[in-house]
Amino acid sequence: MTAASKKTRLRGSRGAARRQAGVKYVYAFDEIRLAERTAGSWDGVRGLLGGKGANLGEMTKLKLPVPPGFIVTTEACRAFLAAGDRFPHGIWEQMRTAVQALERAAGKKLGDPAGPLLVSCRSGAKFSMPGMMDTVLNIGLNDEVAEGLARLTGDERFVFDAYRRLIEMYATVVLDLPHKPFDALLSEYRARRGVWNDAELPSGDLKAITAGFKRIVEEHAHRPFPTDALEQLKLATMAVFRSWRGKRAHDYRTAAGISHDLGTAVNIVTMVFGNLGADSGTGVMTTRNVTNGEKELEGDFLMNAQGEDVVAGKRRTLPIAEFARAMPKVDQELRRIARTLEKHYREVQDIEFTIERGKLWMLQTRDAKRTAQAAIRLAVDLANEKLISQAEAVRRVTPEHVDYFLHPQLDAEACHAAREKGSLIADGLNVSPGAAIGQIVFDADTAENWAKLLKRKVILVRRETSPDDVHGMLVAQGVVTSRGGRTSHAALVARQFGIPTVVGVVALEINAERREMRTAAGQVLKEGDWLTIDGGTGEVFAGEIRTVVPDMTDPYLVKLLSWADRFRRLGVWANADYPADAQRARKFGAEGIGLCRTEHMFFQAERLPVVRSMILAPNAAARAEHLAKLLPMQRADFIGIFKAMDGLPVTIRLIDPPLHEFLPSRDELQKAVIELETRLRLKDGDVATLEAELVAKRKALETVQAMHEQNPMLGLRGVRLGIHMPELVRMQMRAIIEAACACAREGVKLKPKIMIPLAATSSELKVGRALLEEEGRKVLAEQGMKVRYEFGTMIEVPRAALVADRIAEFAEFFSFGTNDLTQTTFGISRDDAETGFLSEYLDKGILTQNPFATIDERGVGALMELGVKLGRQRRKNLEIGICGEHGGDPASIDFCHRIGLDYVSCSPFRVPVARLAAAHAALGKAKDQR
Ligand code: PEP
Ligand code: MG
């Protein structure tokens, strides 16, 4: 290295060090404006200070009662983790300065027995991850401080309650010791006194427990509990930073789609105590009901307790509705604050508060997690109250929220019967709606193994859940806990992920060690037994209960979707093959049928033999007889669909699949022939009958063999089939036009759209169309009617997209058949790939998304864009839609919006989701300003 370059390098690294020393790692709660200037936006502030810290700063700015404190930034966490779990220069120094400022403000000192300051050390990432990371409370206590504080407060019981909690949290969070020995010692004392909760233990016991806890730490960690308050603070902060990397936090982020690179902030907050006696308490609540969306507070509180008692579900809490009776004045203040926060954030909040000797303190606020049902009602209500715009209300509802309404619920009659039969074994709090049926498992690891490896449906049953159970909850159909309230860990996680859940089912006595649970009536259910739960009512049933798909008449959903309809540009049509599907699609809001797959009508049990005879017929004349039988069947179907869709467009696609799909398989026939030959040789049965059967089977085998294709999906199908066997599509055309005439006579408004599948060249379309037109003219002449209809084609092979201008000469509309277009563009079989190598590609990141689920914009999408451009070059008003499965996928719908399609067509059950997604596409990402 030359001297000059060495100098440059040194100068560079000194510069970096200086820059690092200059980084502001710590913000006091009242420095939120400075943070806003530094981070540039509210989103940036949340990224820097974490959600909890940003909101504590924001509440301080709003002059709400927040205990003084400061935030160590996410940037500090990232620097700490990057430096191998060490504080780079600057962090600790800035923390000490901030502590001194806190001490000055409070007139107390950390570690000073004559006036001790106690602080909490709480995690707080940009996105809320309830309970996934660590927290240490009551930092600053040691033997001398405890004695000093006991003298100052005159409440030894409170002091040692706080002290023993600090030791346990320190041990489990900083030293990673298990909770078990601590729980065991507490249980021992509770049992000795015959009490159910810790609040009933006398102060002498708590003092003894504190000493016992210190012994446990020494025994397990081989070092004493640290007496120095600053050391406690430093180690706790480091442990909270490390907990970002913990397994449960990692699993949660993966499930919630949160980046693993963000890091967590740490909030150091002056302790306030809810366990100082009868005029103290603590609670957790949401500013509205987040289970059903009603405009009422929802939550729990406890008098004379610390916050963790409420959240952990370890003590029986009281519903927040009763708080007014316990503390009427504070209740009023709390309600006032709830309104202020909702107005400020324009969103329903989830609040933690503590009352210390009659004074209310706000410890946290954040946007509340909610069920799908509540999400929709809240969005509508907030818009009606003018807190947000209707566009914002539509944006706030996700496709998953709407999808929920289309999921199975318990069948009311079956439920009634189950109740009569005595299968209703218990009920609890209905914290996350939806029906779930599965086999009972008693721990998260078993849930994961059974669900993932054995592909079983499971219901996770626990006394209460903790962050360690999340991986099991995520794979379970539903969750049941015997303890805990509406704000318990299980309830929060369940709502976030839409897992049907019932908590606080006190009648169930769960014995996880013995892998069984006992009901109040004495019935014992074991691991593997079936259980059904209704997260909407809170009922728990033994056994399996039938489910039904709910109707979509929830008035808030109807309202929200009507708003979505006003914002979207894309039409939403449905793929429907039968009149009943068409009716359902229309009820869900479909504006037309984008695809009626006529071959599906052929698969019905009573039709299949006719279809088979038609295919096996030796010539056109013989085939005509069978086609004549099919004609009235098809006509009746079309009449039903036209009537169901009166006034709306109906697109009928002519037969598409290769004919062998309607015939028995070659292997099956071969087997039957061999069997019959063997039986004949052994004279096993009536020889004449066996011979006749053998002749028939041999003939069928011959025909099937003649039709066999190596690549049937690239074979005689689509438009080619119509050209090869014109009498078949003529019959279909006749059925369509006859049905149209019959409906028109009855006053049904219609304009059939006849769609030819899988065209690759304009000339095959020309030929295919000409023969259909000829048939159409003939039928209309016979009927003496005039019915207008259109011809169009599906764009399903790359060539069709590449020559779309020529194709458009013979097509009045296009519909992208993206199932086939994806298959033919990638050269990947749509029937085999998803169960084969495609999942490996996805696991290895070779593909980032399944192209059969979401349009591959670069490849398939580019062909679509070209198809749109060329098609409209030739025919300006060419109507273009999509009818592949992608038509119901929100990301693909966004793409279809961008490339200017006229409509998406999807299965009836996706129609409501597509209406919302089309509105999202039109509204774009911009949010209302805070
Ligand atoms: C398609 O290919 O996308 C399509 C809608 O047709 P099918 O799925 O019937 O092949
Ligand atoms: Mg297709």
pLDDT one-digit tens code per residue, 665-685: 888 889 999 999 999 999 888
- State the average pLDDT over residues 719-740: 96
More confident residue, 155 or 267: 267
pLDDT tens digits, 829-885: 887 787 678 888 988 889 999 899 899 999 999 999 999 999 999 999 999 999 998
- Residue with the smallest CA separation from ligand 1 atom 9 is 597
Predicted pLDDT at 467: 74
| Whether residue 819 has its Cβ less than 6 Å from ligand 1 | yes
pLDDT tens digits, 35-58: 999 999 999 999 999 999 999 999
Predicted pLDDT at 471: 87
**Which atom of ligand 1 is least distant from the CA of 815?**
5
- State the average pLDDT over residues 111-131: 90
- 906 alpha carbon – ligand 1 mean position (Å): 11
> Out of 401, 471, 489, 920, which one is annotated catalytic?
489
CA pair distance 420, 669, nearest whole angstrom: 50
pLDDT tens digits, 147-164: 999 998 888 988 999 999
CA pair distance 634, 600, nearest whole angstrom: 11
Q: Which of 796, 903, 907 to mutate to test the pocket of ligand 1 (most atoms within 8 A of CB)?
A: 796
Assess whether 920 carries a catalytic annotation: no
| Whether residue 811 has its Cβ less than 6 Å from ligand 1 | no
pLDDT tens digits, 778-818: 999 999 999 999 999 999 999 999 999 999 999 999 999 99
- State the average pLDDT over residues 140-151: 95
- State the average pLDDT over residues 423-428: 91
pLDDT surpasses 60 at 14:
no
What's the length of the chain?
930
- State the average pLDDT over residues 378-385: 98
pLDDT surpasses 90 at 18:
no
Half-sphere exposure of 41 toward its Cβ, with a 13 Å CA cutoff? 6
Predicted pLDDT at 550: 65
Predicted pLDDT at 487: 66
Q: Which of 298-312, 470-484, 543-557, 672-686 has the lowest mean pLDDT?
A: 298-312
> Out of 596, 743, 883, 906, which one is annotated catalytic?
883
- State the average pLDDT over residues 373-388: 96
Predicted pLDDT at 315: 67
pLDDT band at 17 (very low <50, low <70, confident <90, very high): very low
Mean pLDDT rounded to a whole number for the chain: 91
The set of long-range contacts for 185-190, using a CB threshold of 8 Å and a minimum separation of 24, is: 185/209, 185/212, 185/213, 185/216
pLDDT tens digits, 248-257: 888 888 888 8
Task: Give me the helices (H) in 222-322, please.
Answer: 229-243, 247-256, 307-311
pLDDT band at 372 (very low <50, low <70, confident <90, very high): confident
Report the number of secondary-structure helices (H) and strands (E) in the chain. 38, 33
pLDDT surpasses 50 at 60:
yes
| Whether residue 830 has its Cβ less than 6 Å from ligand 1 | no
Q: Which ligand is nearest to the CA of 821?
A: 1
**Which atom of ligand 1 is least distant from the CA of 886?**
3
Q: What percent of the chain has pLDDT over 70?
A: 96
- Residue with the smallest CA separation from ligand 1 atom 8 is 819
- State the average pLDDT over residues 719-736: 96
pLDDT tens digits, 289-335: 998 899 999 999 999 887 777 666 556 789 999 999 999 999 999 99
| Whether residue 77 has its Cβ less than 6 Å from ligand 1 | no
Q: Which residues pair with 109 in a beta bridge?
A: 116
**Which atom of ligand 1 is least distant from the CA of 595?**
5
Predicted pLDDT at 551: 66
Q: Which of 318-327, 389-398, 490-499, 921-930 has the lowest mean pLDDT?
A: 921-930
Residues 6+ apart with CB under 8 A from 738: 631, 635, 779, 783
Q: Which of 29-38, 427-436, 873-882 has the lowest mean pLDDT?
A: 427-436
Assess whether 416 carries a catalytic annotation: no
Sign of the torsion angle spanned by Cα atoms 639, 643, 645, 649: positive
Task: Tell me the two tokens of residue 365.
Answer: 């606020």
| Whether residue 793 has its Cβ less than 6 Å from ligand 1 | no
Structural element, H or E, at residue 361: strand 359-367
State whether residue 281 is helix, strand or coil.
Answer: strand
Residues 6+ apart with CB under 8 A from 635: 735, 738, 739, 742
pLDDT surpasses 60 at 88:
yes
Predicted pLDDT at 829: 87
Distances (CA, A) of 147 to 10, 116, 144, 217, 329: 53, 11, 5, 21, 33
CA pair distance 278, 262, nearest whole angstrom: 41
More confident residue, 450 or 135: 450
pLDDT tens digits, 560-610: 999 999 999 999 999 999 898 899 899 999 999 999 999 888 887 788 899
pLDDT surpasses 60 at 3:
no
